[in-house]
């Protein structure tokens, strides 16, 4: 993938989500999710990655207005949290809602400049728009590699699933085959990979632990 392709994708993603926040405010619809209950269910899948370690540091790529931070603190997590988003208004809203403090930072961008214990990305692969599937797939793979580098102990992400009903799919969204994505991560990141697709949404979550760590 060329730098121009990646830059164009990130600009499109930023504009799309900025418009959603402007239209719906800091709600699930403001980050293009259907509702609060499914959003919470999606958050809960990432807790397994943390392995009940309340002090683990977290990088959230595509953090939106910081709802995963809110969720983590509600569950008793207290480790350092860094949220990244390519939409400046999302980061501005996260700062407004949660503030900057010793235990949290909010940054505009797509590529973390630091390393945490774990890195997560929720929903950032969904809205393909008019980008071709081949180019978008390379973008997904590049971003997964960024997650791998950002999480020293492991990382996790979710993707819309091709196991969903064909008539429910939208032409502007990206869907992946869960078994192919599982195979990709096994071949690139070792055997400590889990696939979750049993939580009632038309998506799946992949979790990877780095070999010999955690």
pLDDT digits (tens, 9 = 90+) for 172-184: 899 999 999 999 9
The CATH class that applies to domain 3-209 reads alpha beta
Chain mean pLDDT for the chain: 91
The reported pLDDT for the residue numbered 211 is 76
* 79, 172, 213 from 56: Cα distances, Å: 5, 35, 13
Strands (E), the chain: 58-61, 81-85, 104-108, 116-121, 151-161, 175-176, 193-196, 203-209
Return the top range by mean pLDDT from 2-6, 49-53, 140-144: 140-144
d(CA 182, CA 64): 26
The three-state (H, E, C) secondary structure of 45-75, written as one string:
HCHHHHCCCCCCCEEEECCCCCHHHHHHHHC
What are the domain boundaries of the chain? 3-209
Share of the chain above pLDDT 90, in %: 73
Instruction: Tell me what the mean pLDDT of segment 96-100 comes to.
Output: 93
Residue 196 clears pLDDT 60, i.e. is over it: yes
């Amino acid at each position: 993938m060329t730098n121009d392709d990646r830059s164009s994708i990130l600009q499109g993603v930023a504009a799309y989500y900025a418009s959603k926040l402007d239209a719906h405010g800091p709600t699930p619809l403001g980050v293009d999710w259907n509702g609060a209950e499914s959003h919470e269910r999606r958050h809960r899948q990432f807790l397994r990655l943390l392995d009940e370690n309340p002090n683990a540091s977290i990088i959230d790529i595509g953090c939106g207005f910081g709802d995963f931070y809110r969720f983590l603190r509600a569950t008793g997590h207290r480790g350092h949290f860094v949220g990244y988003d390519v939409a400046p208004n999302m980061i501005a809203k996260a700062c407004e809602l949660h503030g900057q403090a010793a235990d949290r930072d909010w940054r505009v961008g797509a590529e973390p400049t630091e390393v945490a214990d774990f890195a997560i990305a929720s929903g950032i692969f969904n809205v393909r728009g008019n980008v071709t599937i081949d180019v978008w797939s390379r973008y997904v793979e590049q971003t997964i590699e960024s997650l791998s580098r950002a999480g020293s102990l492991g990382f996790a992400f979710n993707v819309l699933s091709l196991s969903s009903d064909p008539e429910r799919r939208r032409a502007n969204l990206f869907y992946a085959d869960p078994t192919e994505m599982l195979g990709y991560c096994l071949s690139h990141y070792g055997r400590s990979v889990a696939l979750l697709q049993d939580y009632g949404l038309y998506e799946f979550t992949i979790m990877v632990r780095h070999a010999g760590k955690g």
